[in-house]
């Protein structure tokens, strides 16, 4: 039964997070598990919500938009967009997103700022949008992210906005790199960001296979798909 599978996997994941925090000398309450539910049905999200989850990560605005509409009466529920976002989708995302983890340019920040302002005026949301800056650790434009040397200017731009709240940063280690080295590098960048913007405490890093290493280097949010949801359904999308 799907509900039993999700409950068992969730229990195991929370135990992994607790163990990783203990090993790192951290409080488990400082690390959030963000289920990544791309391609999975709204019924899975409803079941995880029943099990106490309140935050969910989606990669694709159109899919997330449909799920947000279907689960509109399920509260509290916070949607995190963790995939790359095109500026022309900003208005759509501003209607339902609690946070966007993939902001990597001033142009995107400006588009989101305008979209959130419109959503606030229309009564479609009640608060600013939480923004995490995606940092590129490999300078691969296909994977998104601002280069580390561009991080300070982008952070300053977001911090000045009334419609956006600079919550922190996100990164994905390069596929062939040593995760420990990359997470350590990311932690250093985050420390420097917090020195200039003390409220930007969120560090979104770590997934199913490397969450322990990410937690050891200060991650406050691990984005987990496969270890919780299972293999993604076959799709033609």
- Give the pLDDT confidence of 83-142 residue by residue, as tens digits: 999 999 999 999 999 999 999 999 999 999 999 999 999 999 999 999 999 999 987 777
Cross-strand pairs, 55: 78
Report the relative pairing of strands 55-58 and 78-81 from DSSP bridges. Answer: parallel
At 233, the pLDDT band (50, 70, 90 cuts) reads confident
Question: pLDDT value at position 177?
Answer: 85
What tens digit of pLDDT does each residue of 14-46 get?
999 999 999 999 999 999 999 999 999 999 999
Question: In terms of residues, how long is the chain?
Answer: 237
Q: Where do the domains of the chain lie? A: 2-226
Q: Does the model's pTM come out above 0.85?
A: yes
Is the pLDDT assigned to residue 217 strictly greater than 80? yes
What tens digit of pLDDT does each residue of 47-75 get?
999 999 999 999 999 999 999 999 999 99
Q: Which one, of 30, 7, 9, lies nearest residue 18 by Cα?
A: 30
Say which residues have a Cβ less than 8 Å from residue 60's Cβ, sequence separation at least 6. 38, 83, 237
What tens digit of pLDDT does each residue of 152-186 get?
999 999 999 999 999 999 999 888 889 899 999 99
CATH level 3 topology of 2-226: TIM Barrel (3.20.20)
């Amino acid at each position: 039964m799907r509900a039993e599978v999700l409950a068992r996997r969730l229990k195991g994941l929370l135990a992994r997070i607790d163990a990783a925090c203990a090993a790192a000398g951290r409080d488990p309450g400082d690390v959030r598990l963000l289920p990544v539910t791309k391609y999975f049905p709204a019924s899975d999200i409803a079941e995880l919500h029943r099990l106490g989850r309140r935050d969910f990560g989606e990669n694709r605005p159109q899919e997330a938009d449909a799920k947000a509409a279907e689960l509109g009466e399920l509260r509290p529920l916070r949607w995190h967009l963790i995939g790359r976002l095109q500026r022309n989708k900003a208005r759509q995302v501003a209607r339902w997103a609690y946070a966007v983890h993939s902001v990597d340019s001033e142009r995107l920040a400006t588009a989101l700022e305008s979209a959130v302002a419109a959503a606030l005026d229309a009564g479609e949301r009640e608060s600013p949008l939480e923004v995490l800056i995606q940092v590129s650790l490999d300078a691969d434009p296909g994977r998104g992210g601002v280069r580390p040397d561009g991080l300070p200017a982008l952070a300053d731009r977001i911090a000045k906005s009334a419609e956006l709240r600079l919550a922190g940063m996100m990164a994905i280690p390069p596929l062939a790199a040593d995760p420990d080295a990359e997470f350590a590098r990311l932690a250093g960048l985050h420390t420097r960001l917090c020195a200039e913007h003390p409220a930007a405490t969120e560090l979104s890093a770590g997934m199913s296979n490397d969450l322990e290493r990410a937690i050891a280097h200060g991650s406050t949010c691990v984005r987990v798909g496969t270890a919780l949801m299972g293999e993604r359904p076959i799709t033609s999308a």
